[in-house]
Amino acid sequence: MPDFRSDTVTQPTPAMRAAMFQAPLGDDAYADDPSVNALQEHAAEVLGFEAALFAPSGTQTNLIALWGHCQRGDEAIVGQNWHTYRWEAGGMAVLGSIQPQPLENQPDGTLRIADIAAAIKPDDAHFARTRLVVLENTTGGKVLPPAYLAEVARLTRQHGLALHLDGARMFNAAIADAQRSGTDVYAQARSLCSHFDSVSLCLSKGLGAPVGSLVLGRRDFIRQARRTRKILGGGMRQAGILASAGHYALQHHVRRLAEDHANLDQLARGLSAAGRSHPVLQGRISVQPWQTNILFTDLHPDVAPAFSAWLADNGVRVTSSLYGGQTRLRWVTHLDVSPSDVAATLDCVERFALPG
């Protein structure tokens, strides 16, 4: 049965493993690993940046970018639910001495433009200097509208601020935008990135590489990023084995993200049907709106323990947390979840009954 916990659990495909095995290698600390260099150059060209840098994780590429935009005592405006603020162990404050200014996320995942504007500090010695605004796309599976990105970019330019994108699942957003507008996903991704001074892109989530992320920006910014990566212990040697997997993913695993979205849609519709008509789950499971490859469902307390145990006993793996007095399950589709996996999962749900 499938593992819906995250799109980080994917295994390299046979073709990706072959690319890793055949990758020419050098020493990336000397910037002469040809496979790392090829990945960086390809990503920068595809997404419209001057340069890119490969690093072990998205947490590190985000911190590298934040550190590049902010000095000690500077401030970055972030969302309460952004990964950079909530899920990266406070790295911007602990290691970068950057003060986060968190704002409330709206139901659609955005930050209010008025809230961002109000949070920008005046030039006064009493305040941390606002230097950066951070966005996240997708966020909880939600896609930030292109017009909204442009509006935030105009605001940051008006105030002389930098704009960074945590684009861990940026290509999921680009696929969704491209399908709505009838454009090519790579063109849509390039357009999306054009609003930002820097972007962090994860290769080991939906794109399916085993390890690694990229930070992209201007050439001088990436030159400093390389130094910061060294400080953080992210400099690697024959890293081309890993970079080649990311390069393969950028070339071959982007368009297929649409399959993950279709599988998630099938799953969400099936769970919604269970919420309407299942003998036990009717009125006890609530399916939140979905857009890409991430779905949240909320379970009433009187059924949550038994249902969660049933899924686990049948090999269906999901993540769970408490949310508003209910149990929230997160379902994530990825390249190792097939339509037949979704069908088998929905069959498992249909067979659920309270014990006794």
CA max distance for the chain: 67
CATH number at residue 247: 3.40.640.10
Domain boundary among 222, 251, 280: 251
* Same domain as 267, residue 200: no
Mean pLDDT of all residues in the chain?
97
* Same domain as 344, residue 210: no
* Same domain as 333, residue 260: yes
pTM: 0.96
Q: Is residue 84 part of a domain?
A: yes
* Same domain as 261, residue 214: no
pLDDT digits (tens, 9 = 90+) for 270-327: 999 999 999 999 999 999 999 999 999 999 999 999 999 999 999 999 999 998 889 9
Work out the pLDDT band at 117, boundaries 50, 70, 90: very high
The whole-number pLDDT of residue 324 equals: 85
Measured in degrees and rounded to the nearest 5, phi and psi for residue 16 equal: -65, -40
* Same domain as 26, residue 97: yes
* Same domain as 291, residue 206: no
Instruction: Tell me which residue has tokens 């069908």.
Output: 343
CATH number at residue 343: 3.90.1150.10
Containing structural domain, residue 285? 256-351
Dist CA 38 CA 41 (whole Å): 5
Domain boundary among 232, 251, 270: 251
* Same domain as 195, residue 64: yes
- Between the alpha carbon of residue 181 and those of residues 146, 147, 174, 175, 353, the distances in Å are 11, 13, 10, 10, 43
Q: CA 272, 274, 278: angle at the middle one, nearest 5?
A: 155
* Same domain as 265, residue 187: no
139: helix, strand or coil: strand
113: helix, strand or coil: helix
Domain count, the chain: 2
pLDDT digits (tens, 9 = 90+) for 58-79: 999 999 999 999 999 999 999 9
* Same domain as 245, residue 315: no
Domain boundary among 229, 251, 273: 251
Dist CA 248 CA 225 (whole Å): 24
Give the end-to-end CA distance of the chain in Å, rounded to a whole number.
25
What is the full DSSP assignment across 268-305? Answer: HHHHHHHHHH-TTTTTTEEEPP--SSEEEEEE-TTTHH
Dist CA 18 CA 12 (whole Å): 10
Q: Helices marked H in 48-145 — which ranges?
A: 58-69, 83-86, 91-94, 113-119
Burial (Cβ within 10 Å: 0-12, 13-18, ≥19) of residue 245: buried
pLDDT digits (tens, 9 = 90+) for 320-355: 999 888 999 999 999 999 999 999 999 999 999 988
pLDDT digits (tens, 9 = 90+) for 22-53: 999 999 999 999 999 999 999 999 999 999 99
pLDDT digits (tens, 9 = 90+) for 91-103: 999 999 999 999 9
Dist CA 261 CA 290 (whole Å): 9
Measured in degrees and rounded to the nearest 5, phi and psi for residue 123 equal: -75, 90
Dist CA 161 CA 157 (whole Å): 6
Q: What is the DSSP letter of 292?
A: S
Dist CA 176 CA 6 (whole Å): 19
User: Is the previous residue joined to 138 through a cis bond, with omega within 30 degrees of 0?
Assistant: yes
The whole-number pLDDT of residue 245 equals: 98
